[in-house]
Structure 1
Amino acid sequence: MTTHRTETSRLEGETPAQRLLALLEVIAGKDQFFTLQGMVDETGLPKPTLHRMLQQLESSGMLQREADGRHYSKGSRLRALAENLLLNDTVHGARHSVLADLVEEVGESCNITALSGGEVLYLDRVETSAPLRFYLHPGSRVPVHCSASGKLFLAQMAPAQRRRLLDQAPLKSFTHNTLTDLAALEAEIETVKQQGYAFDDEEFLPGLLCIAVLAPNPEGPSNIGLAIQAPVMRMSRDKILGCLPALRSAADAIAAISREATTDAARMASATP
């Protein structure tokens, strides 16, 4: 699945702060200097509006003006922010290592997910080295009703909460196997509750089979899913069920990483005068 960028990228956001962050995302992806007019052409924003936004970013140290006065580049504060993120994001690094080990063990692509609004968000993913695979990158979103992780997130909800979510997210059909009938989906969710894992049996993409579990959370619902995805030409339901022990072991390891990070944060907060 490849996303092609249009020539003009509109900045999304309901508030000025959100649009400023969206502009910063565009700038962060640039590998060269840029001008005000160039950003106007790229974003479609009015020149006075964009000029004001660039001034705000420059005054905060996120951007800097080059010697000619016309070109902008990334500022020292933005570079420091990126460096600190890479240096200190040990939780992501630890989770990614677990994911990579799982892919090595089962031989198929695996991903970590979370529920975001009415969709399942891919937080991380490691691809198999096998020649036939589906490319779904971190940041991808899929509907809850046709995702293995999504069914698990739905199964944790009270019926009224689940109905409110599904009322706002119509059960769109993506393949012949997609569950588009609410009663059928509720029956599937009941099965998921009982067995503790969920399938996506070619329900989102033709030819793609997926099994997922949640990272356990003793304190309540979990918002971290872990899934194995494989083409049906290489994997059957019975065969992928054989990967369930490895999947659950990896989910336990990811849950332990999250608990440790939460405990460390609470310890630091209590030690702060």
Structure 2
Amino acid sequence: MEEPESASASGSSAERSLRLLALLANEGRALTLADLAAQLGLPKGTAHRICTQLLAGGFLARDVDERSFSVGPALRKLAFDTLNHGVVRGLRHEVLSELVREVGETCNLTTLDGARVLYLDRVEAQWPLRLTLDVGSHVPLHCTASGKLFLAQMPKKERDALIGSLPLERMTANSITTAEAMHAECEEIARQGYSCDREEFIAGLVAVAVPVRDAQGAVRAALAVHAPTARMSMDDALKRIDALKAAAGKMTALL
């Protein structure tokens, strides 16, 4: 027989649902039903009912192991809409604009959206030759600077499971297409603190990305610069890392 809910766990169903979503969002990783129930002080039956309702609404999703829960598409959309709302979005956009003026190339702010990268904001450099990706666009994880950065910062167990589920499609001759090579790449990114796209997504295009952390140090977004190799070599891109890190520091207060 399950224990009755504690006083701290009491409250409306809506309140408990919000606390469960907040827990998952703050953890930044998938949690089992037992984990959720224990951390929220809820009986497993109650936690199961809440999860079932949130799954139906798209606010939760089954993780790749089918035993754990992660944030769902509806919650990610809510987070995206929140990040792109009002005054704070304007302040982040200004930081991005200042960065573009400093480095002279297109820069973007992205976040992890399931098994893809989501563009939160983007400022184009004023060059005739450039790649246009609208805010709200998605790009792959395995062949982009931001995507590989997000993979590298994940807990190893979660990262291994996600890499195992990715198709690792060959986008160019330089794309990483084996799990072994991707694991090695992630270890290197974690060690050096930044990620590179060496013409892995689009031939003739290079990029560098750095993490944007929240006040607790968790990676919540990535800041990247990219340009055609006709204007910016990989060595040139690496020279812009200090500017990217400085801008990422300013972004922390605006998440």
AA aligned to 2:233 is S
Bigger mean CA deviation after superposition, 166-175 or 111-120: 166-175
> Could you tell me which residue of structure 2 aligns to residue 228 of structure 1?
225
C-alpha separation in 1, matches of 2:227 and 2:141: 19
Relative to structure 1, is the Cα distance of residues 186 and 129 closer, same or farther in structure 2, using a 3 angstrom cutoff?
Answer: same
Relative to structure 1, is the Cα distance of residues 234 and 181 closer, same or farther in structure 2, using a 3 angstrom cutoff?
Answer: same
- 1:221 CA displacement: 2.6
> Could you tell me which residue of structure 1 aligns to residue 87 of structure 2?
90
> Could you tell me which residue of structure 2 aligns to residue 135 of structure 1?
132
- 1:132 CA displacement: 1.1
Relative to structure 1, is the Cα distance of residues 17 and 100 closer, same or farther in structure 2, using a 3 angstrom cutoff?
Answer: same
Structure of greater Rg: 1
AA aligned to 1:248 is K
Matched, 1:194 2:174: no
C-alpha separation in 2, matches of 1:185 and 1:16: 33
C-alpha separation in 2, matches of 1:150 and 1:254: 18
C-alpha separation in 2, matches of 1:117 and 1:16: 17
> Could you tell me which residue of structure 2 aligns to residue 33 of structure 1?
none
C-alpha separation in 1, matches of 2:134 and 2:146: 16
SS at match of 1:97: helix
- 1:217 CA displacement: 3.0
Q: Unmatched 5+ residue regions in structure 1?
A: 1-14, 19-84, 259-273
C-alpha separation in 1, matches of 2:218 and 2:114: 15
Q: 2:242 aligns with which of 231, 242, 245?
A: 245
Relative to structure 1, is the Cα distance of residues 115 and 16 closer, same or farther in structure 2, using a 3 angstrom cutoff?
Answer: closer
- 1:151 CA displacement: 1.1
Query: 5 Å matches for 1:154-173?
Result: 154-173=151-170
> Could you tell me which residue of structure 2 aligns to residue 111 of structure 1?
108
C-alpha separation in 2, matches of 1:88 and 1:198: 28
Relative to structure 1, is the Cα distance of residues 164 and 17 closer, same or farther in structure 2, using a 3 angstrom cutoff?
Answer: closer
- 1:241 CA displacement: 1.1
Relative to structure 1, is the Cα distance of residues 161 and 16 closer, same or farther in structure 2, using a 3 angstrom cutoff?
Answer: closer
Q: 1:254 aligns with which of 245, 251, 254?
A: 251
C-alpha separation in 1, matches of 2:178 and 2:116: 18
RMSD: 2.0
Contact 2:207 2:224 survives alignment (8 Å): yes
Q: 1:145 aligns with which of 114, 134, 142?
A: 142
- 1:218 CA displacement: 4.8
SS at match of 2:213: coil
Deviations 1:73-99 (A, max 9, x none): xxxxxxxxxxxx9x9611111100000
C-alpha separation in 1, matches of 2:229 and 2:104: 14
C-alpha separation in 1, matches of 2:100 and 2:195: 19
The alignment of Structure 1 onto Structure 2 pairs a total of residues equal to 177
Relative to structure 1, is the Cα distance of residues 16 and 191 closer, same or farther in structure 2, using a 3 angstrom cutoff?
Answer: closer
> Could you tell me which residue of structure 2 aligns to residue 125 of structure 1?
122
C-alpha separation in 2, matches of 1:253 and 1:89: 18
> Could you tell me which residue of structure 2 aligns to residue 51 of structure 1?
none
C-alpha separation in 1, matches of 2:145 and 2:85: 31
Share of identical aligned residues, percent?
46
C-alpha separation in 2, matches of 1:221 and 1:88: 22
- 1:167 CA displacement: 2.6
Q: Unmatched 5+ residue regions in structure 2?
A: 1-54, 59-81
SS at match of 1:205: coil
C-alpha separation in 2, matches of 1:166 and 1:192: 15
- 1:141 CA displacement: 0.7
> Could you tell me which residue of structure 1 aligns to residue 18 of structure 2?
none
